[in-house]
Amino acid sequence: MVSKKDIKESYNSLKEEINRHNFLYHNKDNPEISDTEYDKLFLKLLKLENEHNFLDKNGSPSSRVGDTPQSNLKEFIHEVPMLSLDNAFESEDLFEFEKRILNKIKDKNLNYSCEPKIDGVAVSLIYERGILVKAGTRGDGEQGEDITHNVKTIKQIPLKLNGSHHPNKIEIRGEIFCEKNEFDKLNAQYLKSNQKTFANPRNFVAGSIRQLNSEIAAARPLKI
């Protein structure tokens, strides 16, 4: 039988490992492991937390949606927490999700709309009287980074909303991404000119929108 001490040591080591990978992913845009490998570590963490209530969950990655930003960009405070979606790896996870939904609503005749998930970077757009005034990343859900200067270079994002009678303030949340064919084309160009290539489109987007020089972001094929 595994002792409490061994379980605590294994758990604390796992917390440190996942927090390190979070830092590399969210702040350095340089992950060392794949998303699948990360998910396996995270599921192992959740399993330990669910099975052993004596564990100290302070500082656990399970209580965060990202990582605290660390860069030269200004901070962006979310007035309403910007949360993330949970993963579902097994059929049972989906059934549990539906059970939670049915417990909260009266109408049991539900229709579900499903679509592929775009793997990019979540963004919050703040409009005041129809004018884009601020944009920020999710960060840790409470505080992100101000990327207004880069977001304004993305042609799909309107600097001014159409129509009139706009509310004094409105927040719109979405996902900044790069299409796979555009990413592959750009990576091929970097490789040909002996420049460092990007591991995946998500890292490319994250690195692009966190540039201090907006001309770099403007030259890259970003969409929302």
**Domain final residue pick, 46, 64, 82:** 64
pLDDT band at 71 (very low <50, low <70, confident <90, very high): low
Flag whether the pTM goes above 0.75: no
- The three-class DSSP label of residue 175 is strand
Whether residue 211 sits in one domain with residue 126: yes
156-184 burial, b for 16+ CB within 10 Å, e for fewer?
Answer: ebeeeeeeeeeeeeeeeebebbbeeebbe
Q: 125 and 193: one domain?
A: yes
Give the number of domains in the chain.
2
Q: Is residue 140 part of a domain?
A: yes
Q: Averaged over 209-213, what is the pLDDT?
A: 90
Query: Quick check: is 146 in a domain?
Result: yes
Rg (the chain; Cα; Å): 20
Question: What tokens appear for 18 in the block?
Answer: 């996942």
Q: Does residue 131 share a domain with residue 46?
A: no
Residue that is last in its domain, among 38, 64, 90: 64
For residue 117, indicate whether it is catalytic.
yes
Structural domain harbouring 27: 4-64
Q: What is the CATH number of the domain that holds 17?
A: 1.10.287.610
- Annotated active-site residue in 5, 99, 117, 196: 117
Has residue 46 been placed in a domain? yes
Q: What is the CATH number of the domain that holds 169?
A: 3.30.470.30
**pLDDT tens per residue across span 139-169:** 889 999 999 999 999 999 999 998 889 999 9
**Does residue 19 belong to any structural domain of this protein?**
yes
129 in the same domain as 43: no
Distance (Å, rounded) from C-alpha 217 to C-alpha 212?
Answer: 9
Would you place residue 107 in the very low, low, confident or very high pLDDT band (cuts 50, 70, 90)?
Answer: confident
Q: Is 192 helix (H, G, I), strand (E, B) or coil?
A: helix
Quickly state the pLDDT bin for 18 (edges 50, 70, 90).
Answer: confident
Rounded Cα distance, 136 and 126, in Å = 9
